[in-house]
Amino acid sequence: MKTLAPAQPLPKFLQISELLSRQIRAGHFRTGERLPTEAELAQSLDVAVGTLRKALDVLEKQQVIERIQGSGTYVRSGNTGKSIYEFFRLELHDGPGMPSAHILSVDKLERPQDVPTFGADAKPQSAWRVRRLRFLNQTPVALEEIWFDAKHTRQLKASQLGESMYLFYQQNFQLWISRVEDHIYAQDVPTWTVPEFGVKAKKTTGYIERLSWTANNELAEFSKTWFDAKLCRYSSRLSQ
């Protein structure tokens, strides 16, 4: 068993590339449109030009943008870049925002009946349950409960998880989520609240159940998300 990577906030250049990626996918910048200049972007995002250029390098390699010397940086058509937040479909009402996460708890439990079986075997399984508070631009917008097969690791602590579960799976379990299926309902937060962040059950809560598969059609993750519909909404355009 490979040792688990410790917690790591995303490096700034990846935060920037993800933010821009989400903004592009959300339509803030349209196909063919020229982005602000590197100097402007760097200043408005409060990073050095070199850091911004590293972020643009990522997007260029993902064929999300095209850079033309002397002219500008342009949005390419058919954006299918593999972003870490490719499947994160909550957005603020005034724009996509930048996702982040705060881990509330990590527990190994017997898989409850409402959590589907992972992989092929249908027998009872133990599974990891990770509860997180999700933010968009520092605003708490959702509560999340994530389940995945306990077979992947014997130990797991909150300190080992980073900002992105999908990135964590990739780096530690060598599995990459390539397809998800969402079911959205209206439902209150059932029992748990996070007073420290001013989060509690609200009548305006939306509820998402998600099944996440790997490329070989193995169900790798099951999650429930309760989001505050006053603050954000579910938008499928973010992962077209």
Binding site for DNA (CB under 7 A): 5-6, 8, 11-14, 35, 37-39, 46-51, 53-54, 56, 67-73
Residue (169 or 227) nearer to DNA, CB: 169
Torsion of CA 10, 11, 13, 17, to 10 degrees: -10
Q: Choose between 12 and 200: whose C-beta lies nearer to DNA.
A: 12
Structure tokens at 17: 């590339």
Least distance from DNA to the Cβ atom of residue 77, Å: 18
> For residues 47 and 39, is the Cβ–Cβ distance under 8 A?
no
Q: For 142-197, what is the HEC assignment?
A: EEEEEEEEHHHCCCCCHHHCCCCHHHHHHHHHCCCEEEEEEEEEECCCCCCCEHHH
User: Of 8 and 239, which has the nearer Cβ to DNA?
Assistant: 8
User: Smaller CB distance to DNA: residue 4 or 130?
Assistant: 4
Q: Which is nearer to DNA, 169 or 226 (CB)?
A: 169
**Alpha-carbon gap, residue 232 to 210, rounded angstroms:** 18
CB of 240 to DNA, least distance (A): 25
The least CB distance from residue 168 to DNA, in Å, is 13
The minimum distance between CB 46 and DNA, in angstroms, equals 7
DSSP character string of 31-52? TTPBPPPHHHHHHHHT--HHHH
Give the nearest distance from C-beta 33 to DNA in angstroms: 12
